[in-house]
Structure 1
Amino acid sequence: MTVAPEPASDDDRSYVDYCGEFFPLTAGQRFFIGREADLSVDDNPYLHRRFLVLHNENGLWWLTNLGTHLSASVSAGDVGFSATLGPGARMPLVFGRTTVVFTAGPTTYEVDVVASAPQVRSVTRPQVAGGRTTQGVPTLTESQKLLIVVLAEEILRREGTGASAIPSSAQAAARLGWPITKFNRKLDNVCDKLDQLGVSGMRGGGGRLATNRRTKLVEYAVASRIVTRADLPLIDDEAARNTAG
């Protein structure tokens, strides 16, 4: 496979970007990613020989997981999209630039796919002309938002990072310089607020707190763009204030 020079723009060509090397995509050809493929990412025995395939169908690029036991995380940070592509599943690439992250054995790989196609863009909130406010967008205090940002920190910093990167409550509290009691109290308040708005996963059966509520909270907040990468400086600001105090 010939490695192409860096494209001049993403607008009129499709390619795979792996560690700064650019592999052109051709509409009439399938492009395989794996251990022995068009893009051989690594001689890793835990990785399928042909794990992922890109193909063009009616002008739209598709990503398919050919594996039997590995999944890939697919994300597009500009629109707040993230999904898991399991074995045998496929999805269209409509975001312009998409980041694909997968782990085989002890090693994690990251591949960017730039696919020219009708693109999905962020939806801006419309101006409210009158009437009742639509439910579903929570109003958060500064400290409640800060709590979500610190839980989502690694996911916001690196597209495609999975739920394993979400810190424990103790780690997140220490990052902000908060007592764990304060952190847990604010986490309870945020989850109660989202539960009342109908966000799933905030509570378990019988009104009990869900055991994986931090993961569900981060997934919802990132996908809904309640928190974004632009909010990350809030963490260091808060930590500095508490250290100085």
Structure 2
Amino acid sequence: MRRVSGEGGVTVEFAGEYFPVRPGGRFIVGREGDLELDDNLFLHRHFLEITDADGLWWLSNVGTRLTATVTDSAGGVQAWLAPGARLPVVFETTTVVFSAGPTTYELTLHAAEPAFRATRREHDDGGASTIGDVPLTLSQKLLILALAEPQLRRDGTGMSEIPTSAKAAERLGWTVTRFNRKLDNVCDKFDRIGVPGMRGGQRSFATNRRARLVEHVIASRLVGKSDLPLLDTAHTVDEVEGEQE
């Protein structure tokens, strides 16, 4: 479908459809609104709001419980949009990823007149797999891919279900105990570099932590569709497990 955007406006892209928001307009995303995602009861009736105010376009979280991860097109700038918070839409392309229950959603905002344009510095990492300052073992990367696989195999924006620990472990040929131990270690690594939502707690559920991990790696472009063939090698990976995994 051809993208349509009014002069100076923003266009919301979701699941192959484009929704133009004209200057001075207001656009609601949620179970109800201008973009009705689905009837997922974990999702707020009104969750995200896009408005034109004070010379800028704004993305606001008008929900009370859910959060969203917002990044530029290159994944180099990332922000966590908490309930009640708002961010200016300043890039030509902005990706918004969020989870509600076991479902992860991804939509894209296209600004007709962006205030900034993202650039990426080319570099050679020597083949090391590093996220932020966190090096990952092959098995840890496989775990992330197993959880993010439905999202990565989907074309474009849209929604996808997050596998349970049992399903992801089965995909890798691991026991659930091994999978959960590695998930604990991966989440601890991300928590140490300040990624929110990685620690469990009295009010946290296992689904929330898996969803937050998928949300972060998708929004940050830390894994991509080109990494998926690694999953076919999972049964041959025989790493020595230790405290660092």
Q: TM-score range by the shorter chain?
A: 0.5 to 0.7
Asked if the contact 1:76–1:95 (Cα under 8 Å) also holds between the matched residues in 2, the reply is no
Match of 1:78 in 2: 73
- Structure 2: how far apart are the matches of 1:226 and 1:63? 24
3-state DSSP of counterpart to 2:90: coil
- Structure 2: how far apart are the matches of 1:126 and 1:36? 44
* Compared CA separation, residues 138 and 16, structure 1 to 2 (3 A): closer
Could you list the runs of 5+ residues in structure 2 that have no partner in the other structure?
Answer: 126-130, 238-245
Q: Are residues 1:230 and 2:226 paired?
A: yes
Match of 1:121 in 2: 118
Match of 1:30 in 2: 25
Superposed displacement of residue 109, structure 1: 7.7
How many percent of aligned residue pairs carry the same amino acid?
45
Higher share of residues assigned strand: 2
Which among 143, 149, 164 is matched to residue 147 of structure 1? 143
TM-score w.r.t. structure 1 length?
A: 0.57
* Compared CA separation, residues 122 and 217, structure 1 to 2 (3 A): farther
Which structure has more relative contact order (CA 8 Å, sep 6+)? It is 2
Figure out how many residues of one structure are paired with residues of the other and give that number: 217
Asked if the contact 2:199–2:209 (Cα under 8 Å) also holds between the matched residues in 1, the reply is yes
Match of 2:243 in 1: none
Match of 1:132 in 2: none
Superposed displacement of residue 174, structure 1: 0.6
Which among 56, 60, 68 is matched to residue 56 of structure 2? 60
3-state DSSP of counterpart to 2:52: strand
- Structure 2: how far apart are the matches of 1:51 and 1:172? 29
- Structure 2: how far apart are the matches of 1:160 and 1:19? 4
Match of 2:164 in 1: 167
* Compared CA separation, residues 113 and 186, structure 1 to 2 (3 A): closer
Match of 2:133 in 1: 137
* Compared CA separation, residues 57 and 227, structure 1 to 2 (3 A): same
CA RMSD of aligned residues (A): 5.2
- Higher gyration radius (CA): 1
3-state DSSP of counterpart to 2:87: strand
Could you list the runs of 5+ residues in structure 1 that have no partner in the other structure?
Answer: 129-134, 206-210
Superposed displacement of residue 173, structure 1: 1.7
Asked if the contact 1:100–1:160 (Cα under 8 Å) also holds between the matched residues in 2, the reply is no
